[in-house]
Amino acid sequence: MRQSRWTAQSRSSHCITMTARCSPLGLSNRPGSRTRVYAPNGFPSTNEVKRMQTSIDPAFAEVSSLLDSLARFTNTLDLKRVPDTVLRQAGLCVLDTIGCTLAGADTPEGAALFDAERALGGSGQLARVIGRAETLPLEAAARVHGYWGDIFELNDLIGGHASIGNVAAALALVEACNGSGAALLKAVIAGIEVTSRVYASVYPKLKPYTDVAMVTPGLVSAFGAAAVAASLRALSRDETREALAIAGTLTTWCPAETVFGDGGTVKPMLFGAWPAAIGLRAAGYAQHGMTGPGRLLESRIGLFATLCREYEPRVIADDTHWFLAEPRRKLHACCGYTHSAIDLVISLRAQLGADVLARSKLRIAMPAYVVPAVSKSALPHTANEARFHLQYCVALAACGADVILPQHSVDLDGHLQRPELRDMLANIEIVADPELAHYHQCRITVSTEDVHHARSDAPCGSPQNPLSDAQVIEKFQRLASFRMSAHASAAYASRFMQLEQVTDCRWIFDELLAK
């Protein structure tokens, strides 16, 4: 496994305190602007943030807002000025999300949601559903896509979990708007970048979810989904701003208990499904003249005051940085907090041998904020618990799994009956390490006759160790294998590499119908 060091930096100089009056600059690509310098973690470098903090234009601060900056970006986005890398990665995001959606479509909980949405009905425009001949109302289709795609924890980590909600919204709306491949791609780019800007502006100084009882990805994706709908429906800048404000107002508070505790089967609704549907609804409200709180983000009683101790307003206005150029994707079907440890154990198994790991004790050190979410004191009892159970996923890797697959959680009872897995589970210890600051970081000590130490700072799929285009396509083919032949899935995937050249998007649905 390739590794690259991620150096934890002091973030106190990166951020704007919540008591400061902070507004973004206007267009950052105007004459005289310069490219921002970002640290390896994807946030602005210390010197760059200091420069940005001291150069706020007072005149602009009086008339603009963070949501207006995001609306301006969405409204003026031009694919001709988007880097080729970003275009390609956006196409891969659509493909990857469709694969995740197909994986969840035939699960019992996936079928239950589809039946519920079909029974509850609704009025208005209809949308097709990936892999089904039936149609549903737009918002229902968005919820189904987002829910199915999040069941197995395979959707990407760009901007938290940006693609699952934004792609779900785009797929629900694109045919109703007679959208071309270029229109779909533009909307997805707008949505993912808007989501990522909001997420990155608060992430360095997020309050612990154990304090606020909320999980950020389910909140920020609603802004992106509203941008998706605004783009496809060609809303004005003012309408787009109102859509963003309304979406942020109406979205779920994304309770931590549902994500990391006992979430029931409603849990996959939070990161993508509900934000996608809310984004569509918000755009519709804005199109009909409704308005929202213009300073919902930066107000002293707004969202950022709830989520974080400090925030970085210039990240939201920075048009020189593309989060899609630094993709974070998931190879393993489990919580992203577990991936660094899983990859490191796979690497250690290759170096030391499975027999050595089988008789060893593993001490896994992780950032303190990660431990409560994935370190468990009891065996997993449900498939969803298994996907958030670090000891279980690490034990699978130690016992021979090179990739954590959906089947590893679906067939939980069968795997727990394996004697070697139960023995491995008893030999895993999880500890918090104050020197580790990001969920990509992990240290493992293997103790047997000898003691071995290993560290990972870049799990497979991280920006420092990204999945290749071929690996993303291979993942899609694996997830779609029950529905398409290898040849058909390869041909299908190839069309997403040049999505901007496609004149209509009906084929996306047509080719996934059961033959």
- Judgement on whether residues 498 and 423 belong to the same structural domain of the protein: no
How far apart, in whole angstroms, are the C-alpha atoms of residue 20 and residue 39?
Answer: 24
- What pLDDT sits at residue 515? 56
- What's the domain count of the chain? 2
- Domain extent, residue 424, equals 336-456
- Judgement on whether residues 280 and 313 belong to the same structural domain of the protein: yes
- What pLDDT sits at residue 482? 92
- Judgement on whether residues 326 and 430 belong to the same structural domain of the protein: no
- Judgement on whether residues 325 and 355 belong to the same structural domain of the protein: no
Looking at residue 291, which CATH number applies to its domain? 1.10.4100.10
Q: Note whether residue 279 is domain-resident.
A: yes
- Judgement on whether residues 404 and 390 belong to the same structural domain of the protein: yes
Q: Note whether residue 14 is domain-resident.
A: no
Backbone angles phi, psi at 7, to 5 degrees: -95, 120
- Judgement on whether residues 325 and 352 belong to the same structural domain of the protein: no
**Ramachandran category for residue 42: left, alpha or beta (phi over 0 → left; psi -120 to 50 → alpha):** left
Q: Note whether residue 47 is domain-resident.
A: no
Give the total residue count for the chain.
515
Three-state helix/strand/coil letters over 334-380:
CCHHHHHHHHHHHHHHHHHCHHHHHCCEEEEEECCCCHHHHCCCCCC
Domain endpoint, select from 456, 479, 494 = 456
- What pLDDT sits at residue 31? 32
How far apart, in whole angstroms, are the C-alpha atoms of residue 339 and residue 467?
Answer: 13
Q: Note whether residue 480 is domain-resident.
A: yes
Q: Note whether residue 296 is domain-resident.
A: yes
pLDDT averaged per 10 residues in sequence order, the chain, 515 residues: 34 37 31 38 45 38 78 98 98 98 96 97 92 96 98 97 98 97 98 98 94 95 98 98 98 94 94 98 98 97 96 95 97 97 97 94 96 95 95 98 97 97 97 96 94 95 96 97 95 97 96 81
How far apart, in whole angstroms, are the C-alpha atoms of residue 206 and residue 383?
Answer: 29
Q: Note whether residue 53 is domain-resident.
A: no
Residue with tokens 């970081």: 441
- Judgement on whether residues 404 and 299 belong to the same structural domain of the protein: no
Domain endpoint, select from 456, 481, 499 = 456
Q: Where do the H-state alpha helices sit in 27-125?
A: 46-53, 58-63, 66-76, 84-105, 108-120
Looking at residue 372, which CATH number applies to its domain? 3.30.1330.120
**SS3 (DSSP) at 27:** coil
CB neighbour list of residue 14: distance below 8 Å, 6 or more residues apart: 43, 44, 46, 49, 204, 312
How far apart, in whole angstroms, are the C-alpha atoms of residue 186 and residue 227?
Answer: 10
- Judgement on whether residues 503 and 419 belong to the same structural domain of the protein: no
Three-state helix/strand/coil letters over 133-179:
CCEEEHHHHHHHHHHHHHCCCCCCCCCCCHHHHHHHHHHHHCCCCCC
- What pLDDT sits at residue 114? 98
For β-strands 310-311 and 16-17, DSSP reports them as antiparallel
Q: Note whether residue 54 is domain-resident.
A: no
- Judgement on whether residues 219 and 73 belong to the same structural domain of the protein: yes
Backbone angles phi, psi at 454, to 5 degrees: -145, 150
- Judgement on whether residues 231 and 281 belong to the same structural domain of the protein: yes
Q: Note whether residue 358 is domain-resident.
A: yes
- Judgement on whether residues 90 and 217 belong to the same structural domain of the protein: yes
Backbone angles phi, psi at 127, to 5 degrees: -135, 150
How far apart, in whole angstroms, are the C-alpha atoms of residue 496 and residue 102?
Answer: 16
CA distances to 80, 195, 213 from 34, rounded to whole Å, are: 20, 23, 39
- Judgement on whether residues 451 and 486 belong to the same structural domain of the protein: no
